[in-house]
Amino acid sequence: MPSKATAAKPGKSPGRPPADSPAAIFRALIQRHLVSTLARHEGSATPRDWWVATALAVRDTIHERMIATQAVHNANNVRRIYYFSLEYLMGRLFGNNLLATGLMDTAKAALASLGQDFEKIREAEVDMGLGNGGLGRLAACFLDSLATLDYPALGYGIYYEFGLFRQAFAANGQQVEHPDNWILFGDPWEVARPEYTQEVRFYGRIENVFDDHGNYRPRWVDTKTILGVPHDIPTAGFGTGTVNLLRLWASKSSEDFDLAAFNRGGYVEAVREKAIGETVSKVLYPNDKTETGKELRLMQQYFFVACSLRDIIRRHFRNPANSWKNFAGKVAVQLNDTHPAIAVVELTRILIDEHGFTLAAAWEIVGATFAYTNHTLLPEALEKWSVGLFERVLPRHLQLIYDINAQLLKAVETKWPGDNEKKRICSLIEENGHKQVRMANLAVAGSHAVNGVAALHTDLLKKNLFPEFDALYPGKFQNKTNGITPRRWLHKANPRLSALITKKLGSAAWVRGLDQLHGLEKSAGDAAFQKEFMAIKRANKVDLAAVIKAECGVDVSPDALFDVQIKRLHEYKRQHLNLLHILALYRRLLQNPGLDIVPRVFVFGAKAAPGYDLAKNIIRAINVVGAHINTDPRIGGKLKVVFLPNYRVSLAEKIIPAADLSEQISTAGKEASGTGNMKLSLNGALTIGTLDGANVEIKEEVGDENIFIFGLNVDEVAALWAKGYKPWDFYQADEELRAVLDWLGSDFFTPGEHGAFALVHDSLLSGGDPYLVLADFRRYCDCQARVDAAYRDKAKWAKMAILNTARLGKFSSDRTIREYAKDIWSLKPVKV
Ligand SMILES: *Cc1c(COP(=O)(O)O)cnc(C)c1O
């Protein structure tokens, strides 16, 4: 118990809870952590101190549940899913953990009685941004659903010292990257587990050795070792006792590494090598296709996979009932993209080199263990590693890849005798010129299931990317449409709407069963309900307007239409198509100041990979054009354009509840699924989008009349390319398009600086417009005009928005995870 000196003065704070109430007990817990853990006097505690103390108080409950969960799982020797991902975009954990444990109201009351502002305190948490975008956020949503649905699960990944960079904008609108030193002040959620440290070997050479029976038993020698130290983050299920783990590996140099260096070069050299050991987990790679430092990236992949597999094997054999015979019966591993695909080879290597398996026997266990999720069809995003690099870093693995490839090509020969083209396509090694290892082919060959992430994407995966593998392995390919966790993306992010839904449905059960939102449909046409629903939207817009004012210094009206595009900056996502439409509207207003358009606030949030110059040029163009529009008195404030800096999960949670319109305008065939589209629609934003990724399925769910679809579909895109696409034809044929492109290409927006937006301008014309921006421009503008018209009819818009929320149940990650559990993992829930 806190001493009298540290406790708040009785009677002074508002509504001090009765001594034995949950809030009073929790309050004492916060005070105890403030004093005993943080050594802080209440009077000098910062919001961050209060946040840490409160987080630790919640963590007490979470740890109890975590210990209980692991005890039940271990005692029952359960089958588990191990999720391998190089990225986890967790965001903040505070609110989520409070809701999961049912302590939200208790904590609020406790903090209020201590005179602390809950909202201010939760802002002290730095996002855990160990991912780039959708892929990493999917992993985080999956962990939430796995725990909530009581599936025994562990996430494995890397404990990056620096997550995705922090984004700022320079005075000229250019993106500036700052390091994200998220761990600087420590992380109250994590527990380091040095006792489970693993050793990982790199480099070295192969010694050709034969055993007593004349079997080839190669030895991997002269390797360098680094250590992996696990850091556990508990992932708490909502409204259930299950708490699973996210286990992240931090690299450390090993002692013998140091010693060898010490003997060679003395103290300074030893310290230098120690730094190399720690470099492996230093920084998350930005999603940058022209990345340098490929060797380090390959080392990261192997490092976390090797640590994780050893950890899985250690845990498996801890139970004397277990053996290699039941390994695949107890262990299911899901590969989140090809980033961890080297795991397939590492398990093969462990089985053959350390446990005496034949390749055929090892490969059987491997195939039964792994499954692979493909996230992209973009050729530049399909991972390949040069054979030379592999040979240097992982020589034994390269040998095994050749052995595995020989088997694979035998199967191809059996299926298509004499067909060398088929062999060339299926081979794990790309032979044209520079030899490369194809990680996607390796992942397909080593997995019993391969899934795409939306129906359309899986279709294209089978038809365009892997038709040969689909024929070779019938039934291996399947679809698992992505989802999002309703806990974070509605219940936590939009408390007002969450409360209204609970009131309307008469229970909060929808938080764990999102299909129940269908119950709102019958009220979609009800004027009173529409009013409540839209009043919440407006209140959320008022909140976002305050954020916009604070971050961008721009005043926006909550009565304008909030038109939102938030996602990584990439040409295929076509933020520049949005920009061209903004320019067109601005020009129309300049030419006709009385023009009657619905006032709009265009909200952007996006980071561009630091080496992706064109993407950064698009950001600058939006910032500069936006600043110009925002300060032009001639248009009467009808248009505002704001680019909120440092887009991340916690910012997404503030933008999404306030969105009226969701921009999902990728070139058809390029967005595998998207999940931002689901978050926005679930929160009552209407989608303007192409028939791409999960937009197709959102349209099926909400109905054609509740979504704005435009543009070329996948077949039309293919036909246009086949015919020969010339952006100049569209430029010449469309007066407005020509005008806005010329405008963008001029120095109108950057007086005295010529060619400021040449990168984006030229990519659309002389650059051939690879993502068909000009081809879709006119139909996009026409569709935006339909949005404008629909927004004027308040009742109609409200009904459409409500029906979006009501019909989005399918896109809960709970549904996705149940499908994985049933069709891929054969996994049963275990109640704790
Ligand atoms: C959901 C999410 C994404 C993915 O957005 P898409 O529109 O699907 O690309 C990216 N970043 C963050 C922070 C997210 O929350």
Three-class secondary structure of residue 456 per DSSP: helix
Q: Give dist(CA 338, CA 106) in Å, integer.
A: 43
Q: Give dist(CA 591, CA 588) in Å, integer.
A: 5
Q: Give dist(CA 562, CA 660) in Å, integer.
A: 5
Ligand 1 centre distance from Cα of residue 675 (Å)? 6
Three-state SS letters, 684-752: CCEEEECCCCCHHHHHHHHCHHHCEECCCCHHHHHHHHHHCCCHHHHHHHCHHHHHHHHHHHCCCCCCC
Closest approach atom of ligand 1 to CA 484: 1
Closest approach atom of ligand 1 to CA 134: 4
Ligand 1 centre distance from Cα of residue 606 (Å)? 9
Ligand 1 centre distance from Cα of residue 567 (Å)? 5
Closest approach atom of ligand 1 to CA 679: 1
pLDDT at 287: 80
The protein residue whose alpha carbon is closest to atom 9 in ligand 1 is: 567
Ligand 1 centre distance from Cα of residue 564 (Å)? 12
Q: Give dist(CA 697, CA 687) in Å, integer.
A: 12
What sign does the dihedral 459-465-467-468 (CA atoms) show? negative
Q: Give dist(CA 203, CA 299) in Å, integer.
A: 10
Q: What is the DSSP string of 560-614?
A: SEEEEEES---GGGTHHHHHHHHHHHHHHHHH-TT-----EEEEEE----TT-HH
Closest approach atom of ligand 1 to CA 674: 8
Residues 6+ apart with CB under 8 A from 60: 29
Q: Give dist(CA 633, CA 603) in Å, integer.
A: 20
Ligand 1 centre distance from Cα of residue 47 (Å)? 28
The angle that helices 342-349 and 359-369 make with each other, rounded to 10 degrees, is 140
Q: Give dist(CA 540, CA 363) in Å, integer.
A: 54
Residues of the chain with pLDDT under 50: 1-13
* CA dihedral of 33, 38, 43, 49, whole degrees rounded to 10: -90
pLDDT at 321: 97
- Out of 566, 572, 666, mutate this one to test ligand 1's pocket (max ligand atoms within 8 Å of CB): namely 566
Tokens 């006709």 map to which residue? Answer: 592
Query: For residue range 480-519, what is the model confidence (pLDDT) as tens digits?
Result: 999 999 999 999 999 999 999 999 999 999 999 999 999 9
- Out of 565, 675, 680, mutate this one to test ligand 1's pocket (max ligand atoms within 8 Å of CB): namely 675
Pocket around ligand 1: residues whose beta carbon is below 6 Å from it? 89, 133-134, 137, 567-568, 648-649, 652, 674-676, 679
Question: Judging by DSSP bridges, how do beta strands 600-605 and 639-643 pair with one another?
Answer: parallel
What are the tokens at 687? 């989608």
- H or E segment at 368? helix 359-369
Predicted TM-score of the model (pTM):
0.96
The protein residue whose alpha carbon is closest to atom 4 in ligand 1 is: 134
Closest approach atom of ligand 1 to CA 664: 7
Give the HSE-up count for residue 275: Cα atoms under 13 Å, Cβ half-sphere.
Answer: 6
Distances (CA, A) of 471 to 378, 411, 413, 415: 22, 12, 13, 9
The protein residue whose alpha carbon is closest to atom 7 in ligand 1 is: 676
Ligand 1 centre distance from Cα of residue 621 (Å)? 22
Query: For residue range 794-817, what is the model confidence (pLDDT) as tens digits?
Result: 999 999 999 999 999 999 999 999
The protein residue whose alpha carbon is closest to atom 3 in ligand 1 is: 134
Closest approach atom of ligand 1 to CA 566: 7
Query: Residues 429, 438: contact at Cβ < 8 Å?
Result: yes
Closest approach atom of ligand 1 to CA 89: 13
Q: Hey, do 77-92+127-482+818-825 and 486-726+776-809 end up sharing a CATH topology, with the first three levels equal?
A: yes
Ligand 1 centre distance from Cα of residue 749 (Å)? 30
The angle that helices 575-591 and 613-630 make with each other, rounded to 10 degrees, is 30
Residues 6+ apart with CB under 8 A from 726: none
The fold adopted by the segment(s) 486-726+776-809 is: Rossmann fold (3.40.50)
The set of catalytic residues is: 375, 567-568, 573, 675, 679
Distances (CA, A) of 415 to 426, 429, 447, 465, 470: 12, 19, 19, 19, 12
The protein residue whose alpha carbon is closest to atom 8 in ligand 1 is: 674
Phi, psi dihedral angles at 411 (to 5 degrees):
-65, -40
- H or E segment at 83? strand 80-84
The protein residue whose alpha carbon is closest to atom 5 in ligand 1 is: 676
Q: Give dist(CA 156, CA 179) in Å, integer.
A: 24
- The closest of 387, 60, 30 to 236, measured between CA atoms, is 60
- Out of 570, 574, 649, 661, mutate this one to test ligand 1's pocket (max ligand atoms within 8 Å of CB): namely 649
Closest approach atom of ligand 1 to CA 673: 8
The protein residue whose alpha carbon is closest to atom 6 in ligand 1 is: 676
pLDDT at 276: 74
The protein residue whose alpha carbon is closest to atom 15 in ligand 1 is: 649
pLDDT at 631: 97
- H or E segment at 113? helix 104-113
Distances (CA, A) of 78 to 13, 49, 67, 822: 49, 39, 15, 16
Domain definitions of the chain by residue range: 1-76+93-126, 77-92+127-482+818-825, 486-726+776-809
The protein residue whose alpha carbon is closest to atom 10 in ligand 1 is: 133
Query: Residues 145, 817: contact at Cβ < 8 Å?
Result: yes
Give the HSE-up count for residue 402: Cα atoms under 13 Å, Cβ half-sphere.
Answer: 10
Ligand 1 centre distance from Cα of residue 135 (Å)? 8
The protein residue whose alpha carbon is closest to atom 11 in ligand 1 is: 133
The fold adopted by the segment(s) 77-92+127-482+818-825 is: Rossmann fold (3.40.50)
Ligand 1 centre distance from Cα of residue 402 (Å)? 38
Ligand 1 centre distance from Cα of residue 547 (Å)? 19
- CB-neighbour burial class of residue 401 (10 A; exposed 0-12, middle 13-18, buried 19+): buried
Q: Give dist(CA 761, CA 414) in Å, integer.
A: 51
